[in-house]
Structure 1
Amino acid sequence: MRSAVLDVTTLENLVSAAVAAPSIHNTQPWRFRLDPDSLTLEIRAAAERGLRHTDPTGRGLYLSVGCALLNLRVAVAHHGWEPVSRLLPRPDEPDLLATVRPSGTAAASSTPRLYGTLWRRHSSRFPFSERQLPTAVLTELAEAAHVEGARLSVPGPAESDRLLRLTREAEHRNTADPDRAAESRRWVRAPADDALGIPPDALGPQDFRERLPLRDFGAHRHRDALTARPFEERPSIAVLSTAHDRRADWLRAGQALERVLLVATAHGVRSSLLHQALEWPDLRERLMEAPGGRGANAQMVLRLGYGPQGPPSPRRTAEQVLAEEPLSISRRTPTR
C-alpha cells in the first residue's frame, strides 16, 4: 500500500467524505478540527444548526454526526490508515462528539466499495418500483448494522402497515404543530453559498394514495400546489434499533445507519428515511411494541427499494467546514 501523508489535500478529502453523509433536514450539524500534535480529527456538534422543535433532545443531531463519523472512518482507511475512533472522548467538552486518529495500516476490508459509494449515496423521495429486495441483500444490510453495534429488522406486511400508520400520525402532528411546521419550511431553500437545507427539487412528490407518509417540508402549502404520484403499494420498510439509548448509542446508530445506506447504494438500492414517528416520544415507544421488539430502542425507519436516484442536496465544502475552526497542518505521516 502506498504511503499516505496527511497534507492539506488529504485532509480536505477526508473532511469532504465526512460531510457527504446525510443529516436531518440537511442541517449538516458538525464542525471538524485537526489536532496537529496527534493528527487526530475532531468532530464537534454545531448546536446552532440543531432543530429546536423537531429534535429537542439532539438525538437526530447525534445520528447525523454518527453518519459523518462512519464516512470519515471509511475515508481514512481508503487512504491506507487504520481509523482509531473514540466516542465522547472528553466529558468536560460536551460538544466534542467523536475523534478519529489515523494509525498504522488499514486491514483489508470492503472499504474500497464503501468509499466509492459514499460519494454517490443520497436519499430518494421518489416512487420506487414494486420489486422487492432479495433476501441476500437484506441479510447483508442487517450484517452492516450489526458491525456497528445496531440491529436492522425487516418487519412483515402487517407490522410494516402499523409502522406506516404511526409515521402517518406523526406527520399529521408535525404539520399541525406551527413551530415544527415553520422549522421544516425554513430548511427548504434554493442552493445558496452556505449549501445547507433541502432544495425544492429534491423534495419529490407526495403519495397519491396517501399510503406512504413522506415528510411535507412545505407544511400548510395549498394542497392544489402539491405534486402527487402513486408510490409503491407495498413499501419495503426496515427499522434500525439499538439495545440502549444513550448519547454514545445515538452515535453508534448513526454509524450503523450510514453503513447500511452505503451497502444499499452498492447494490443499487435507493433509500429514504421516515423519521417522523421518532420525533414524538409516545410514538417512538410504540414503534418497538412488536413481538421481539421490546427492550430495543428504535433509531430510524428506512424505506428501501429500486427507483430513480433523485437529485442530491448540496454540501458545504471542506474549506467551509474547516474554516470554522483554527486549522494547522502538520506534514508528518502517522506512525505505522
Structure 2
Amino acid sequence: MSIRSQDTATVSALVSEASAAPSLHNTQPWAFRYLSDAGILLLYADRSRALPRTDPDARGLHMGCGAALLNLRVTAAAAGLAPDVRLLPHPADADLLAEVRLWEPAPPDMALALLGPAVRRRHSSRHPFLEEDIPEAWRSLLAEAAEAEGAQLLFPGTWHVRSLLRLVEDAEGWEEADPGIRGETERWARVEPADTARFRDGIPAEALGPRGRRAASPVRDFADGRAVPGREWATFEEDPHLALLGTVRDGREDWLRAGQALERVLLVATELGLVASLMSQPLEWPELRWVARDPLSAMANVQMIVRLGWGPEGRPSPRRPVAEFLEIV
C-alpha cells in the first residue's frame, strides 16, 4: 500500500475537526505536525496547556488527546481515507502521542465515517436531564462503541450511582480546600460570557449550566462559588444515568485508548439523540478513584464517569483556530 500526501486544505480540515474533542476544562492540550513529503501526521501533547494540580499524572491530558485522535479518524474515514495509527511511536519522546499515516486508497471504516456529522454537534450539557430510562439496546450500542476502542463501558446499579455522587461531593470539598486546584479552575472556567475575539479555549459562562439545588449534584460547578450574572438554579436528577468507562491497564497508551473510546461513546450517544456530561472529579484523587470502581465488575481502572440522558443540548465552548496548533512542513 502506498502513501498519498494530502493537500494542506484536507489536513487542516481533519485537524480542525479533531479539535472539537472534549478536554479537561477545555484546555485543548494538543498540537499537530504534518510531514507533507511522507504523508504522516504527528499528534503531540501541548504541556503548556496541562493542569499540574488537577491532573498531575497527565492522565486527563492523554484522554483529551485521545478524543481528538478519534475525531481525526472519524473525519478521515468520512473523507474516504483509512488512517493507520501508531500510539506512542517513539518512547524516547514523551510528548509524541501518535503517528497517523493517511493511507489512500483503502476501504475506510464506515462505522466511524457515519459518526462524522456528530463531531460538531457533540457538546457537554450541564443542564438537568429527564429521569427516563435509556433503552437496553442503546446501552448495548454505547458499550460496543467503547469495546471497539479497547475499553469497557458499564452502567452501575442504583446503589453504586449514589456512591459515585457521594464521591463527587467529597472531591469537590477537597478541591475547595486546595488553592492550586481552585486557581486552575478559575483560569480556565470563566464567569463572563464568551468573547470570541478574546477567548479561544476554556469554559465560558454560557456553558456552565445552572447551579444545582442539591448538595450532591451530578454536574461539576465550574463557577466554584463565583458569581455568574443571570445564572439560574435548577433541580438535577436524583438518580442520574451514569456509565463507567474503564480499561484493564492504566498506562499512557491505555489513557489514549480510553480517550478514543470516550469520544466514540459520546458520538454514538449524540447520534442516538442523547446528551452527556462528564464527571471526572472523583477520578482526579487517587484515593477516590479506586473507590469509584464497581466491585461486582472486572473493570480494573475507571477512566471516566459519563452522565447520559435526554435534555437540552449543551452550549459550545470556544475552539482555537487550527493555525495555532497545526504545523505543516
* TM bucket, shorter chain: over 0.9
Q: Which residue of 1 aligns with 2:248?
A: 243
Q: Which residue of 1 aligns with 2:71?
A: 71
Change (3 A) 1:5 1:78: farther
1:113 deviates by 2.3
Q: Distance in 1 between matches of 2:14 and 2:257?
A: 20
Q: Is residue 50 from structure 1 mapped to residue 50 from structure 2 by the alignment?
A: yes
- For 1:201-247, what per-residue CA distance to the aligned partner results, in whole angstroms no more than 9, with x for missing partners? 10011221233242222223369996321112220000000000000
Q: Distance in 1 between matches of 2:130 and 2:180?
A: 35
Change (3 A) 1:75 1:289: closer
Q: Which residue of 1 aligns with 2:307?
A: 303
Q: Distance in 2 between matches of 1:194 and 1:14?
A: 22
Q: Distance in 2 between matches of 1:108 and 1:284?
A: 34
Match runs of 1:285-300 below 5 Å: 285-293=290-298, 296-300=300-304
Q: Is residue 220 from structure 1 mapped to residue 225 from structure 2 by the alignment?
A: yes
- For 1:28-63, what per-residue CA distance to the aligned partner results, in whole angstroms no more than 9, with x for missing partners? 000011012221111101001000110010000000
Q: Which residue of 1 aligns with 2:281?
A: 276
For structure 2, the residue ranges without an aligned partner over 5 or more in a row are none
Q: Is the 8 A contact 1:163 1:287 kept in 2?
A: yes
Q: 1:210 aligns with which of 215, 218, 237?
A: 215
Match runs of 1:1-336 below 5 Å: 6-103=6-103, 104-189=105-190, 190-191=194-195, 192-193=197-198, 195-221=200-226, 227-293=232-298, 296-322=300-326, 325=327, 327-328=328-329
Q: Distance in 2 between matches of 1:245 and 1:35?
A: 31
- For 1:49-99, what per-residue CA distance to the aligned partner results, in whole angstroms no more than 9, with x for missing partners? 000110010000000000000011111111112110010001121110011
For structure 1, the residue ranges without an aligned partner over 5 or more in a row are 329-336
The aligned length equals: 321
Counterpart residue type for residue 323 of structure 2: E
Q: 3-state DSSP class of the match of 1:210?
A: coil
Q: Distance in 2 between matches of 1:207 and 1:219?
A: 12
- For 1:101-158, what per-residue CA distance to the aligned partner results, in whole angstroms no more than 9, with x for missing partners? 1113134522332111011111000111111111111000000000000000001111
Counterpart residue type for residue 318 of structure 1: V
Change (3 A) 1:226 1:149: same
1:290 deviates by 2.1
Identity %: 48
Q: Distance in 1 between matches of 2:126 and 2:226?
A: 18
Q: Distance in 1 between matches of 2:267 and 2:231?
A: 31
Q: Distance in 1 between matches of 2:265 and 2:218?
A: 22
Q: 3-state DSSP class of the match of 1:163?
A: helix
Counterpart residue type for residue 119 of structure 2: L
Tell me the TM-score normalised to structure 2 length. 0.93
Change (3 A) 1:223 1:186: closer
Q: Is the 8 A contact 2:35 2:41 kept in 1?
A: yes
Change (3 A) 1:84 1:91: same
Q: Is the 8 A contact 1:175 1:216 kept in 2?
A: no
Q: Is the 8 A contact 2:202 2:317 kept in 1?
A: yes
Counterpart residue type for residue 117 of structure 1: A
Counterpart residue type for residue 23 of structure 1: S
Tell me the TM-score normalised to structure 1 length. 0.91
